[in-house]
Amino acid sequence: MADDLSEGPVRDAVADRLAAEALIVDVAGFEGPLDLLLRLAQTQKVDLRKISVTDLARQYLAFVKRAREMRIELAADYLVMAAWLAFLKSRLLLPPDPEEEGPSAEEQAAHLAFQLERLEAMRRAAAALMARDQLGRDVFARGAPEGVARTRRVTYTATLLDLMQAYARTRTRDEFRPFVMDRDDVWTMEEALDRLRPLIGNATIWTDLAAFLPEGWDGDAARRRSATASTFAAALELARDGRLHLEQADMFGPIRIRGRT
């Protein structure tokens, strides 16, 4: 590095650059003006309550001046703090103006000292907290916790109203059921078949179909019609099966049946 030694300006440039970089790193390392102030205050190595705010203001302003000389962009809040500290410093150095209202310069300085002390206290508290025995690092929970099994129990509920409405529903359902034919006066074909089957075996002679109508079904016209129709249909069914013979002498004449032997 002999070249560097011989050429002073170059070396200075390097030194400046290094200094600038150091400052950049420093500024980046601070979390805002209060953090920077706290770091500067700590260099005074006194109880933060006895700190000299004027000294602190001077240090801070010097820092900002240096940063500006090195054309380091300082965030606005650093500059606002600088302006406020410059103002505070001047007020602290001058005798108090009796006309002025609001807090005195001393009170503002004391509050700044309080803020710094509080921030430092919180930093120490955070460190103390982190130094505690921590779960998963120093202290451990049950490695194999036994889970709680959930069982589901379903209970059913109904109100008296539900009950009454349900009953009303069942009792009135008939009244609203879909229309179906009333079967009181209907002699079904199944019934006719059941009646005809055992009788036809004995009918060895031609017998009028009307004779096979069930008892009580030959009076009322509707009933007789239903029974006649179903008995006739049943006779046709049995004729198809070869169980009986059917005959009708003339049109609209009586239909006669005879069992097949």
Partner 1 sequence: MSDGGLFDVPDAAEQERMVEAVLFASAKPLSVGELQARLPHGCDAAAALSRLAELYAGRGVEVRKLGDAWAIRTAPDLSHLMMREVVETRKLSRAATETLAIVAYHQPVTRAEIEEIRGVSVSKGIVEQLMELDWIRLGRRRDTPGRPVTFVVTRTFMDHFGLASPRDLPGLAELRAAGLLEGTPPPEAETRPATLFAAADEE
What does the block give as tokens for 33?
Answer: 């003006």
What lies within 8 Å, CB to CB, of 30 at 6+ separation is: 36, 39
Residues recorded for the chain: 261
Q: Should residue 3 be labelled a site residue for partner 1 when binding is judged by CB under 8 A? A: no
Residue 161 contacts partner 1 per CB under 8 A? yes
Sole binder of partner 1 in the list 9, 28, 94, 159 (CB under 8 A):
159
Tokens of 67: 């940063």
Using CB under 8 A as the binding rule, the residues of this chain from 171 to 210 that contact partner 1 are 171-176
Q: How many residues bind partner 1 (CB under 8 A)?
A: 77
- Tokens for 236, please give them: 């046709």
Amino acid at residue number 115: Q
4 touches partner 1 (CB under 8 A): no
Site for partner 1 in 93-152 (CB under 8 A): 102-103, 107-108, 110-111, 114-115, 117-119, 121-152
- Is residue 153 a contact residue for partner 1 (CB under 8 A)? yes
> Which residue among 12, 16, 73, 162 contacts partner 1 (CB under 8 A)?
162
Q: How many CA atoms lie within 13 A of 189 on its CB side?
A: 8
Stretch that binds partner 1, among 165-173, 199-207, 219-227, 251-259 (CB under 8 A): 165-173
- Give the C-alpha distances (Å, rounded to integers) separating 143 from 11, 60, 137, 181: 62, 53, 13, 75
Residue 187, φ and ψ in degrees, nearest 5: -100, 110
Taking the least distance from each CB to partner 1, the nearer of 135 and 181 is 135
Q: Which is nearer to partner 1, 120 or 237 (CB)?
A: 120
Q: How far is the CB of 117 from partner 1 (least distance, A)?
A: 7
Residue 240 tokens read as 């198809």
Binding positions for partner 1, 22-61, rule CB under 8 A: 31-35
